[in-house]
Amino acid sequence: MQRTDYLRISPERKAGIQRLAAELVAGRRVALSTHMNADGDGCGSESALARLLAQRGMPSRIVNPTPWPGLFDFLLGDAAVDDTARGSAALAGIDLLLVVDISDVKRLGNLTESVRRLTIPKIVIDHHIASDDPAGDIVLTDTTACATGELVYDLACELELEITPEIARSLYAAILTDTGGFRYSNTTPRSHAIAADLLSHGVDPEEMYQRVYASAPAGRVRLLAEVLSSLGVDERCGVAWLTMGAGSLERHGVRSEDLDGIVEHARSISGTRLALFFRDLGYGKVKISFRSTGDVDVNRFARGFGGGGHVKASGALVAGTLDEVRDRVVSEAKRFLGCSGAAG
């Protein structure tokens, strides 16, 4: 019987890692950053990289555009220092910037302009569909990677760094969350092979499940109940959507990280091809999450609203009121699906 070595790294990816490794010089001070409202992939990749860089004699700090999510506090420990509170001032005096899980520099929010102005080497490790405005010039990107954490894992292996139990937990959190618990279409034999290796390096899968998926504050479940009551469905076209008004987070005492995965409830409805979640940010802008089932390319749809991401999971920020944006985007979605009939 022939076995496949799923952990083998493709020559292209190896070359990308080696290009990047040339910048990983001992003594250089690094700032790590990821997108606004960091998710498990962003946080896990950052906390793993902080420890991996330390093995190469590189001190690093995490400088994110929005606060580190409490849900992922357990990944930080002593080794990964969060300097986010200092804002762009924390980028002064660094020798290298390493941005993860971002294809477009604008996803760095309030750090975007400071990052553009940096003249030091800027590295991007990412698995989103490329944009024409990346956050750096040395780019390791591969849309076939299930998570940025997969690329960080490959970097660790290729550079023969040690996968400590803390690093293994961080990378597992990255892959676990970006694959929706190994359920989304980006789940591959390789995702499972890496997860297997991470278990052998000390990850306890039940502990990870409890920390990531079973540690919700009661407010998150109450908010979920409220958001679910907003459900709209067009069964004929296969579109389902959820909305959340401004101020709901505050009212339930929860944070934006508590919204992660909420759009999946719309996607879970039988026959749904395109699911949407509209969140009123309260200052004339609505954040939209797009998810799809089957061959619907929501990256292409989201591009029409200035957003993007992945083929089956994308986002956009649109100006307007919640009702206006929802009505417009839902009817655009029906048209996008070739279902713009009069009854639509």
Which of these ranges, 141-149, 151-159, 188-196, 327-335, lies near Mn ion under the rule CB under 5 A?
A: 141-149
Residue nearer to Mn ion on the CB measure, 101 or 234? 101
The nearest distance, CB 31 to Mn ion, in angstroms, is 19
The nearest distance, CB 45 to Mn ion, in angstroms, is 8
Beta bridge partners of 308: 315
The nearest distance, CB 223 to Mn ion, in angstroms, is 24
What residue number has its CB nearest to Mn ion? 41
* Contacts of Mn ion in 66-105 (CB under 5 A): 101
Q: Which long-range contacts (CB under 8 A, 24 or more apart) does 270-275 make?
A: 271/235, 271/238, 272/233, 272/238, 272/239, 272/240, 273/237, 273/238, 273/239, 273/337, 274/238, 274/239, 274/240, 274/298, 274/301, 274/333, 274/336, 274/337, 275/239, 275/240, 275/241
Number of residues that bind Mn ion (CB under 5 A): 4
Residue nearer to Mn ion on the CB measure, 138 or 173? 173
Query: Do 139 and 102 contact (CB within 8 A), yes or no?
Result: no
Residue nearer to Mn ion on the CB measure, 256 or 331? 256
Rule CB under 5 A: is residue 178 a binding residue for Mn ion? yes
Tokens 């590295």, residue located: 123
* Contacts of Mn ion in 101-130 (CB under 5 A): 101
Site track 24-53 with Mn ion (rule: CB under 5 A), x = hit: -----------------x------------
How far, CA to CA in Å, does 223 sit from each of 196, 245, 272?
Answer: 35, 11, 23
The nearest distance, CB 29 to Mn ion, in angstroms, is 25
The nearest distance, CB 343 to Mn ion, in angstroms, is 38
Residue nearer to Mn ion on the CB measure, 43 or 156? 43
Which of these ranges, 50-58, 65-73, 174-182, 207-215, lies near Mn ion under the rule CB under 5 A?
A: 174-182
Which of these ranges, 11-19, 147-155, 214-222, 261-269, lies near Mn ion under the rule CB under 5 A?
A: 147-155
> What span, in angstroms and rounded, lies between the C-alpha atoms of 207 and 156?
24
Give the three-state DSSP class for 82: strand
Which alpha helices (H) appear in the chain, and where do they start and end? 11-21, 40-55, 112-117, 148-158, 165-178, 189-200, 205-213, 218-228, 248-252, 264-267, 298-303, 322-336
The nearest distance, CB 181 to Mn ion, in angstroms, is 14
Q: By the criterion CB under 5 A, which residues form the site for Mn ion? A: 41, 101, 148, 178
